[in-house]
């Protein structure tokens, strides 16, 4: 499938690529609804990754591989990426663009980004694998399982070596010699990120770790192409490399989409044989698609967005396309009506717009909304999943019929899982061995409030902040609610210094439950008809409080009314389940967790902890979020048959 950017620079100037003609909205109308400046390229557009580079006829332009070269051949010259932040504000004829902000002289002039060794303009090296002041330093980009050491990583897409295939190059052909070391032997920096137990040969009768899960090998349009198209290197990934090939975890909000998948690919629960699988995992990167990725004038993307140019509808269409691909190519969906299939949807209200066609499956999400007649609570029109759309070809019966009639979350067959919180996010937690702090704040919540966006958070955050200001909650009750500029200080330290931590929705799901649990702070859930992570599989009644949305004014009285003895009991019970909100069985996560523990132990001049548990016998590496999901799935095997 040919992909391209909306504009490309040629020797004769800008060339307008044709737009699809089968949409009811024209280009101008669509741009006015949802503008993607990232789709504009005034240089050389690499069709493979839809990324913009300096033109080939400039000193530091990208020169592609010759036409006769192999399909996976690298470019003759990498070139400097331009990105959407370094696009000209004028056309060659002097006409102003509505998608660029840079004077062309700063790009093409003698001291320009594309011409000078040390240009005056500094363009952001947005692409993964491009580092240094002028993006001149190549480094290891992120790929799932780092291609198992059996392939080269190209911005998230694995180009497998001969004899290997799959989303992470884990599946060998019969002729390949699996005893030959992979790339991790020559690249020690990827060694900690290559774990493929499923590729081992198991002797007959070997005990396997059930449930066994087969990960579908879908076309890259649904998975790794989204990684190649991501706007910034840190988008869509749980971790990334630095220019010196050291690694760190990202803070991408929807990081569980690829983090959970990589944990599954690296786990003993994975099987490469679909015939022995208990479940089938369908990897579709809808949250990455909505982040957004770099937009392209491509008929597939336009179909996903459909006629309304709505991100939620685009993501749902993406899920439907994957569903039809599976049914059209493999027999496993029809064998049990999809009941043994697993889909992970991590965007704000994603579980609400899962199409009816795949509702029989197990839906993993962060959003446990249970009311049947639900409407979108988003403050952003482009994410309103019930925005109706009709089209004689694409939607002759309208859009809403695809998603209406089901609760967002079915507590019998679905599961709300924790979001991905890297160890660094909770470095000040006493549960990691950090120094115990006085819990001086009675109640705490720091996060976006958006007073001008009335739909955001159902108005809960806005109302609480106003109450806190009007009634002096900070001074009278030691309760703080607000954004960063009003609640200053290191976030992890504030959480570790609070008795109660408020769990309030944002533009859909909230990660505040995980923040509270990982810091030993008692969660206070203020979301009607919404279940938090693992509430259906763990008894959290003695761990958290629930406050109805109608009782916001009584919050100080409710919190101060909990006696200290009761608080101690709740914290003691919390100490038995907090580890289920981390991903400590995921090998890269476990490594950083250990490093933080050792750092805390050294600061206290104490021996390293064997584990960060506060209750003897707990092993977070065996009872973490991932293994909790696996245990729940194991209990569901019979129900899917």
Q: Where are the domains of the chain?
A: 1-130, 139-200, 209-416, 426-581
* Mean pLDDT calculated for residue range 304-311: 63
| Residue 79, CA distances (Å) to 2, 292, 632 in order | 22, 24, 49
pLDDT value of position 34: 38
Across 296-300, 379-383, 546-550, least confident range: 296-300
Phi, psi of 523 (to 5 degrees): -70, 140
**Of 379, 309, 315, 373, which is closest to residue 344 (Cα–Cα)?**
315
Q: Which CATH number fits domain 426-581: 1.20.1250.20, 3.20.10.10, 3.40.190.150, 3.40.50.2000?
A: 3.40.50.2000
CA geometry: angle 385, 377, 303, nearest 5 deg: 15
Across 26-30, 69-73, 221-225, 244-248, least confident range: 26-30
* Mean pLDDT calculated for residue range 5-25: 38
pLDDT > 80? residue 567 = yes
For 412-449, the pLDDT digits (tens) are 999 999 999 999 999 999 988 888 889 999 999 999 99
The two tokens of residue 574 are 């919390």
pLDDT value of position 97: 86
For 311-364, the pLDDT digits (tens) are 898 899 999 999 999 999 999 999 999 999 999 999 999 999 999 999 999 999
The two tokens of residue 199 are 């590729």
* Mean pLDDT calculated for residue range 616-631: 77
* Mean pLDDT calculated for residue range 184-197: 94
* Mean pLDDT calculated for residue range 220-234: 92
DSSP 457-505: GGGHHHHHHHHHHHTTHHHHH-EEEE-TTTS-S-HHHHHHTEEEEEE--
Q: Can you give the three-state secondary structure of 149-160, one letter per residue?
A: HCEEEECCEEEE
For 40-82, the pLDDT digits (tens) are 789 999 888 888 999 999 999 999 999 898 877 889 999 999 9
The proportion of the chain whose per-residue pLDDT surpasses 70, expressed as a percent, equals 89
* Mean pLDDT calculated for residue range 250-275: 96
pLDDT > 80? residue 144 = yes
* Confidence grade of residue 91 (pLDDT, cut at 50, 70, 90): confident
60 HSE (CA, 13 A, CB side): 20
| Residue 612, CA distances (Å) to 143, 342, 450, 584, 617 in order | 29, 31, 37, 10, 11
Q: Can you tell me the distance from the alpha carbon of 558 to that of 467, in angstroms, rounded to the nearest whole number?
A: 15
For 128-143, the pLDDT digits (tens) are 999 999 999 999 999 9
Q: Can you tell me the distance from the alpha carbon of 599 to that of 176, in angstroms, rounded to the nearest whole number?
A: 43
pLDDT > 80? residue 20 = no
* Confidence grade of residue 9 (pLDDT, cut at 50, 70, 90): very low
* Mean pLDDT calculated for residue range 157-182: 92
The two tokens of residue 156 are 């998230």
* Confidence grade of residue 3 (pLDDT, cut at 50, 70, 90): very low
pLDDT value of position 39: 66
pLDDT value of position 49: 85
pLDDT value of position 32: 35
Q: Can you tell me the distance from the alpha carbon of 532 to that of 131, in angstroms, rounded to the nearest whole number?
A: 39
* Mean pLDDT calculated for residue range 206-228: 93
pLDDT value of position 150: 96
* Confidence grade of residue 23 (pLDDT, cut at 50, 70, 90): very low
Give the largest Cα separation in the chain, rounded.
77
176-189 burial string, b = 16+ CB within 10 Å, else e?
eeeeeebbbeeeeb
For 571-605, the pLDDT digits (tens) are 999 989 999 999 999 999 988 888 888 888 888 77
- pTM for the whole thing? 0.91
- Output the average pLDDT for the chain: 87
DSSP 220-247: GGGTHHHHHTBSSTTTT-SEEE-TTS-E
Show Cβ contacts of residue 264 under 8 Å, excluding neighbours closer than 6 positions: 213, 215, 270, 281, 626
The two tokens of residue 89 are 């504000």
């Amino acid at each position: 499938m040919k992909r391209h950017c909306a504009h490309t620079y040629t020797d004769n100037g800008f060339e307008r690529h044709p737009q699809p003609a089968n949409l009811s909205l024209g280009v101008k109308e669509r741009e006015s609804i949802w503008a993607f400046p990232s789709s504009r390229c005034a240089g050389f557009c690499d069709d493979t990754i839809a990324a913009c580079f300096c033109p080939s006829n400039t000193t530091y332009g990208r020169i592609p591989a010759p036409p006769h070269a192999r399909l996976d051949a690298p470019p003759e010259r990498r070139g400097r990426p331009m990105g959407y932040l370094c696009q000209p504000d004028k056309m060659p004829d002097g006409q102003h663009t509505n998608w660029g902000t840079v004077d062309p002289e700063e790009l093409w002039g003698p001291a320009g980004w594309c011409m000078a060794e040390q240009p005056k303009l500094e363009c952001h090296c947005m692409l993964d694998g491009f580092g240094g002041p002028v993006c001149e330093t190549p480094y290891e980009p992120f790929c799932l399982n780092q291609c198992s050491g059996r392939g080269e990583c190209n911005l998230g897409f694995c180009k497998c070596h001969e004899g290997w295939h799959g989303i992470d190059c884990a599946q060998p052909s019969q002729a390949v010699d699996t005893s030959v070391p992979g790339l991790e032997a020559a690249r020690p920096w990827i060694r900690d990120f290559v774990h493929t137990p499923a590729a081992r040969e198991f002797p007959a009768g070997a005990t396997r770790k059930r449930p066994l899960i087969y990960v579908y090998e879908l076309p890259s349009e649904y998975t790794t192409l989204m990684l190649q198209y991501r706007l910034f290197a840190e988008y869509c990934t749980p971790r990334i490399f630095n220019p010196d090939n050291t690694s760190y975890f990202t803070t991408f909000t929807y990081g569980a989409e690829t983090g959970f998948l990589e944990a599954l690919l690296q786990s003993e629960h994975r099987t490469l044989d679909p015939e022995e699988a208990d479940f089938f995992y369908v990897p579709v990167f809808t949250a990455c698609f909505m982040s957004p990725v770099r937009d392209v004038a491509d008929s597939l993307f336009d179909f996903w967005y459909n006629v309304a140019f709505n991100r939620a509808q685009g993501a749902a269409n993406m899920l439907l396309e994957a569903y039809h691909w599976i049914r059209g190519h493999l027999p496993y969906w029809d064998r049990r009506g999809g009941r043994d299939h697993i889909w992970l949807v991590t965007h704000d209200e994603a579980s609400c717009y899962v199409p009816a066609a795949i509702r029989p499956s197990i839906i993993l999400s962060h959003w446990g909304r249970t009311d049947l007649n639900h409407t979108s609570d988003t403050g952003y029109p482009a994410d309103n999943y019930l925005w109706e759309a009709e089209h004689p070809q694409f939607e002759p019966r309208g859009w809403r019929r695809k998603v209406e009639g089901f609760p967002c979350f079915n507590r019998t067959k679905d599961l709300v899982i924790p979001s991905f919180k890297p160890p660094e996010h909770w470095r000040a937690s006493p549960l990691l061995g950090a120094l115990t702090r006085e819990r001086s704040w009675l109640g705490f919540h720091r996060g976006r409030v958006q007073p001008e966006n009335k739909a955001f958070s159902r108005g809960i955050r806005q109302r609480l902040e106003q109450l806190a200001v009007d009634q002096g909650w900070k001074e009278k009750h030691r309760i703080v609610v607000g954004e960063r500029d009003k609640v200053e200080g290191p976030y992890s330290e504030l959480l570790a210094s609070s008795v109660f931590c408020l769990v309030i929705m944002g533009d859909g799901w909230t990660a505040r439950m995980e923040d509270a649990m990982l810091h030993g702070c008692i969660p206070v859930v203020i979301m009607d008809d919404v279940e938090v992570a693992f509430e259906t599989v763990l008894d959290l009644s003695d761990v958290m409080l629930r406050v109805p949305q109608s009782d916001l004014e009584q919050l100080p009285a409710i919190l101060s009314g909990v006696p200290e003895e009761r608080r101690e009991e709740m914290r003691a019970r919390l100490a038995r389940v907090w580890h289920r909100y981390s991903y400590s069985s995921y090998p890269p996560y476990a490594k950083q967790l250990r490093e933080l523990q050792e750092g805390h132990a050294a600061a206290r001049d104490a021996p390293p902890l064997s584990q960060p548990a506060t209750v003897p016998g707990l092993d977070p590496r065996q009872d973490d979020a991932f293994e909790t999901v696996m245990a729940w799935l194991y209990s569901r095997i019979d129900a899917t048959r």
